[in-house]
Amino acid sequence: MKNVILLIMDGLGDRPNEIFDNKTALQYSYKPNMDFLAEHGVTGLMSPVSYGIRSGSDTSHLSILGYNPENYYTGRGPFEALGLGIDLKPGDIAFRANYASVINNTVVDRRAGRIKDTNNLSKELETEIDGVKFIIKSGVEHRAALVLRGDNLSDKISDTDPHNIDSKLLNAMPLDNEAKFTANVINKFLERSRKILNEHKMNKDLILNGKLPANEILLRGAGKVPELPDFNKKYNLRAACISGTPLIRGIAKLAGFDIINVNGMTGRIDTDYNNIINTAVESLNEYNFILINIKGTDIGGHDKKPEIKKYAIEETDKALKQLKSILNDTLIVITGDHSTPCSYGDHTGDPVPVLFSTNGIINDDVKRFDELSVSHGYYKIKSSDIMPLILSYSDRSEKYGA
Ligand code: ZN
Ligand code: ZN
Residue 56 Cα, ligand 2 centroid: separation in angstroms?
A: 7
Least confident interval from 139-143, 159-163, 322-326, 351-355? 139-143
pLDDT band at 83 (very low <50, low <70, confident <90, very high): confident
- For residue 351, the CA-to-ligand 2 centroid distance in Å is 15
Q: What is the pairing mode between strands 289-294 and 93-103?
A: unpaired
Q: pLDDT tens digits for 348-400?
A: 999 999 999 999 999 999 999 999 999 999 999 999 999 999 999 999 999 99
Q: Supply the pLDDT for residue 143.
A: 92
For residue 336, the ligand closest to its alpha carbon is 1
Residue 114 has a pLDDT of 86
3-state secondary structure the chain: CCEEEEEEECCEECCCEHHHCCECHHHHCCCHHHHHHHHCEEEEEEECCCCCCCCCHHHHHHHHCCCCHHHHCCCHHHHHHHHCCCCCCCCCEEEEEEEEEEECCEEEECCHHHCCCCHHHHHHHCEEECCEEEEEEECCCCEEEEEEECCCCCCCECCCCCCCCCCECCCCCECCHHHHHHHHHHHHHHHHHHHHHHHCHHHHHHHHCCCCCCCEEEEEEEEECCCCCCHHHHHCCCEEEEECCHHHHHHHHHCCCEECCCCCCCCCCCCCHHHHHHHHHHHCCCCCEEEEEECHHHHHHHCCCHHHHHHHHHHHHHHHHHHHHHCCCEEEEEECCCECCCCCCCCECCCEEEEEECCCCCCCCCCCCCCCHHHHCCEEEEHHHHHHHHHHHCCCCCCCCC
Higher-pLDDT residue of 139, 348: 348
Indicate if the pLDDT at residue 76 is higher than 90: no
pLDDT at residue 75, as a whole number: 87
| pTM check: above 0.85 | yes
- CB-neighbour burial class of residue 82 (10 A; exposed 0-12, middle 13-18, buried 19+): buried
Averaged pLDDT, 232-239: 98
Nearest residue to 232 via CA among 252, 246, 211: 252
Average pLDDT, the chain: 96
C-beta separation of 99 from 142 below 8 A: yes
Beta carbons within 10 angstroms of residue 314's beta carbon: 17
Separation of CA 209 and ligand 2 centre (Å):
36
CA–centroid distance, 389 to ligand 1, in Å, is 21
| Residue 159 confidence class, pLDDT cut points 50, 70, 90 | very high
Q: Tell me the domain boundaries of the chain.
A: 3-73+227-393, 80-223
Measured in Å, residue 58 CA sits from the centre of ligand 1 at: 7
By percentage, how much of the chain surpasses pLDDT 70? 100
Residues 6+ apart with CB under 8 A from 5: 280, 281, 284, 290, 292, 323, 330, 331, 332, 333
Stretch 186-190: mean pLDDT, rounded? 98
Instruction: Tell me: pLDDT of 296 over 90.
Output: yes
* Between residues 80 and 180, the one the model is more confident about: 180
> For 174-192, what is the mean pLDDT?
98
Asked which of 60-64, 139-143, 352-356 is least confident by mean pLDDT, the reply is: 139-143
* Residue 140: predicted pLDDT: 85
Q: Pick the ligand that lies closest to the CA of residue 58.
A: 1
Mean pLDDT of 285-307: 97
Q: Indicate the residue type of 308.
A: I
Residue 226 has pLDDT above 90, yes or no: yes
CATH fold of 3-73+227-393? Alkaline Phosphatase, subunit A (3.40.720)
Quote the ligand 1 centre to 10 CA distance (angstroms): 4
Q: What value does the mean pLDDT take over residues 292-303? A: 97
CA of residue 181 to ligand 1 center, whole Å:
36
CA of 352 to the centre of ligand 1 (A): 12
Among the bound ligands, name the one nearest to the CA of residue 342.
Answer: 2
Task: Determine the average pLDDT of the residues in 307-321.
Answer: 98
**Over residues 113-138, mean pLDDT:** 95
CA of 322 to the centre of ligand 2 (A): 28
pLDDT confidence of residue 51: 98
- What does the pLDDT look like over 249-265, one tens digit per residue? 999 999 999 999 999 99
Give 308 Cα–ligand 1 centroid separation in angstroms: 16
CA of 296 to the centre of ligand 2 (A): 10
